[in-house]
Amino acid sequence: MEKIKVMTLFGTRPEAVKMAPLVKELEKCEVIESIVCVTAQHREMLDQVLELFKISPNYDLNIMKEKQTLTGITTRVLEGIEDVLDKEKPDIVLVHGDTTTTFAGGLAAFYKQIKVGHVEAGLRTFDKYFPFPEEMNRKLTGALADMHFSPTTASKSNLLREGVDEETIFITGNTVIDAMEHTVEENYVFENNRLNEINFEDKKIIMVTAHRRENWGEGIKNICEALKEIVEDNKDVELVYLVHLNPIVKDMVEEYLGNVERVHLLPPLDTKETHNLMNRSYMIMTDSGGLQEEAPHLGKPVLVLRDVTERPEAVEAGTVKLVGTNKKAIISEANTLIRNINEYEKMSRAINPYGDGNASKRIVENILYYFNMRENKAEDYKCE
Ligand code: UD1
């Protein structure tokens, strides 16, 4: 029997985390030949994830450059992948989410008339520039895709509104929850010893990440100033800020928070360390999308340092709150959660709007269905 050739393509850390469980599931399937191609839009941050999940890519385009531009990434992905597609001729290319690798990879496959499967499809803010360029990347990838793997009912509805054929949309849950089943451990001992020295029991540890393009400049400055005031006004609070390697972000954060007491600036950690840090923290402050999905699973309140989110499910469920980047607003919302135990407890319920750990399995089953190797679609994921 001829196997279905499935090429998984990704390049940044968050894509890798969310594609890794899917690669593992594809590898398990006897009627699928799984090929992994990484663009390495991120280098170190990608390699950490590949190592953790023991994935050795068949192709590595190694495109990352210091201070790369969006045009540079797009053209290097397009050019780099052409030969790989010509050589392998996959039946379908799977891309994930909303990065420039995602869009350029989908476009390259389309140019070769190869089917495109979009994992984490249908997230929208409906604001072209927020987040930039991700909102446009996911819309454009949606336009290129033949199979749409939506994590939730809400993301499926967004696609239906855009006129996508319902037959091609599959609600699977988010694969990040699959990844967390492998990474989160009780009594975890960190590899980074600075984390083992932190007193998670007696201090309120706030985990922070912030690096989005639309927050560069004024946004990051406001966030840093607010964080400084929060930690100075609350002696029982310590901050662990995982600082992205992007030099535009890194330089600014170090300037504002480099020498502040009870602020720990750490380089990006690998996924297992990050998930376990989150699990031990009191709360999360972030402009990341992925953390908004991961934290509710662990029952950790999240203050989102953005004005809009493409992940309304956890906001509706009450574990995630949109705060924006206004300094006063950040301080006020953080102080409420730090000082008011009732408010804290209201937000710290573990919920699972984003998945049950079986998203990758559903995606593989739906690929088999699409290529006539299985009679029925996988049953849609239903939020509990
Ligand atoms: C990218 C994605 C964003 C995603 C984010 C996750 C785009 C346009 N942006 O943003 O959607 O949320 O990844 O982290 O696709 N760098 C390193 N080593 C690394 C990674 C980055 O040195 O391992 C530095 C390089 O100088 C690089 C810069 O960071 O030029 C920016 O990387 P880039 O992928 O362009 O943008 P991100 O801000 O990481």
**Which segments in the chain show pLDDT lower than 50?**
none
The pair of structure tokens assigned to 230 is 């929060």
Give every CB contact of residue 156 below 8 A, 6+ residues apart in sequence: 122, 148, 150, 169, 171
Q: Which 8-state DSSP code applies to residue 285?
A: E
For residue 320, the surrounding DSSP H or E stretch is strand 320-322
- Over residues 318-363, the pLDDT tens digits come to 999 999 999 999 999 999 999 999 999 999 987 889 999 999 999 9
Residue 225, φ and ψ in degrees, nearest 5: -65, -40
pLDDT score, position 384: 64
- Closest CA relative to residue 139, chosen from 125, 153, 157: 125
Kindly give the distance from the C-alpha atom of residue 111 to the centroid of ligand 1, in angstroms, as a whole number.
Answer: 25
pTM over 0.75: yes
d(CA 323, CA 335): 12
313 is an active site residue: no
Nearest alpha-carbon partner for 346 in 298, 293, 383, 301: 301
Pocket of ligand 1 (CB under 6 A): 12-14, 41-45, 66-68, 70, 73, 98-100, 133-134, 211, 245-247
CATH 3.40.50.2000 positions along the chain are 4-176+356-371, 193-349
Query: What CATH number has the domain spanning 193-349?
Result: 3.40.50.2000
- Among 298, 291, 262, 269, which Cα is nearest to 190's? 269
Domain 4-176+356-371 coded CATH 3.40.1260.10: no
Q: Would you state the pLDDT for residue 100?
A: 98
- From the CA of 211, give the closest atom in ligand 1: 38
At 352 the pLDDT is 82
